[in-house]
Amino acid sequence: MAEVKTCVLLAAYNGCSHIHEQLDTILHQQCSLSVDLIVSVDLSQDSTYEICNVYADKYRNMRLLPYGDYFGGAGKNFYRLLNDTDLSCYDYIAFSDQDDIWLDNKLGKAIEKLQQFDCYSANVTAFWEDGREVFVDKSQPQREWDFLFEAAGPGCTYVFKREVAIQFKAWLLERYEKIGEDIALHDWLFYAFARSRGYSWFIDPEPMMRYRQHANNQVGTNNSVAAAKKRLKMIKSKWYRNQITKIAEHLDLLILPVVKYGLNHGYLGNLYLLLHIGKIRRRLRDRIALSFALLFNIF
């Protein structure tokens, strides 16, 4: 029987404080799989690259991509990882951040579910340095158009089959530079690509990772007043609406009713979205918040 091979793509930047914990939990997964770890370090002002280099010298299954380029965001760094990694020799591909803590059966559990589904993500336990912990539930039932309005959860929980990865990479490389400029969040884009192309997705209700929260999180979890204010500011600036529109454009989804009659139709479009709110966000709390934003023309 052929060996099952998994590739973990890890994007790093100024992560010297915690990256060793993340690397350890990936390299010591309790599963009978062959796991390769590919790391891309964005040009940093700390010792992140040196730490990764020490690990790469120690572990034959870890490889560092050439260092020195500045990407300016996790999205561009992950696009680089996909571009520069030969995915054809792997059965499964996973994304990883630099500062989380994976449960020791994270990959094993994901691949077990991938016998029935094409893509996998999971709930997480967010934690802070002061000892606070919050369970983050993203496993509500998927909606018809939710992929245009949100990701499947933190991208660092994503694991997916080779076929999906290769199809996404081929699509990405056709518009590589433009995507890097237009779409900030790779995990949101990947979820939208997979769902819009008919791939099945399982969101695991069990938390499979400890999700570190700190000032450098590009998005983080929405469980504080400060986080809510940050998201409100992004909504009012039309950042979210712009990202949704860009994703729809790149994925050739402009003919979808939610785009044609909703996103591209001004305030009347807001009313259309409001009438179809049950199709565009998974969580009730998010549907209520978005309804107010649509009604008062904030979104």
**Confidence tier at 237 by pLDDT (50, 70, 90):** confident
Q: Give the percent of the chain with pLDDT over 70.
A: 94
- Residues 107, 183: Cα–Cα separation, whole Å: 27
160: tokens are 């997916």
pLDDT tens profile 174-225? 999 999 999 999 999 999 999 999 999 999 999 999 999 986 554 555 555 6
- CA distances in angstroms from 233 to 150, 215, 226, 227, 236, listed in the order given: 17, 17, 11, 10, 5
Contact (CB, 8 A) for 37 and 24? no
When pLDDT is averaged across residues 152-176 and rounded to a whole number, the result is 97
CA distance 162 to 281: 28
User: Tokens standing for 71?
Assistant: 């990407």
3-state secondary structure of 96: strand
Q: Would you state the pLDDT for residue 84?
A: 97
For residues 154-178, give the mean pLDDT. Answer: 97
The chain-wide mean pLDDT, for the chain, equals: 94
User: pLDDT tens for residues 35-88?
Assistant: 999 999 999 999 999 999 999 999 999 999 999 999 999 999 999 999 999 999
Q: Please name the residue that has the structure tokens 């799989």.
A: 33
Pairing relationship of beta strands 119-127 and 159-161 according to DSSP bridges:
antiparallel
Residue reference for tokens 């520069």: 84
The pLDDT tens digits for 245-283 are 999 999 999 999 999 999 999 999 999 999 999 999 999
Does the pTM surpass 0.85? The reply is yes
Question: Residue 134: is its pLDDT beyond 80?
Answer: yes
Alpha-carbon dihedral of residues 62, 209, 154, 49, nearest 10 degrees?
Answer: -30
Amino acid at 66: P
Task: Check residue 166 and give its pLDDT.
Answer: 98
Domains of the chain: 5-221 (3.90.550.10), 226-295 (no CATH)
- For 224, the enclosing helix (H) or strand (E) is none
Q: Please, are residues 79 and 187 in contact by the beta-carbon 8 Å criterion?
A: no
CA dihedral for 12, 18, 23, 26, sign (positive or negative): negative
pLDDT band at 123 (very low <50, low <70, confident <90, very high): very high
Cβ–Cβ under 8 Å, residues 158 and 152: yes
CA distance 277 to 179: 28
In terms of phi and psi (left: phi > 0; alpha: psi -120 to 50; beta: otherwise), the region of 220 is: left
Joined together, the tokens standing for residue 3 give 């060996």
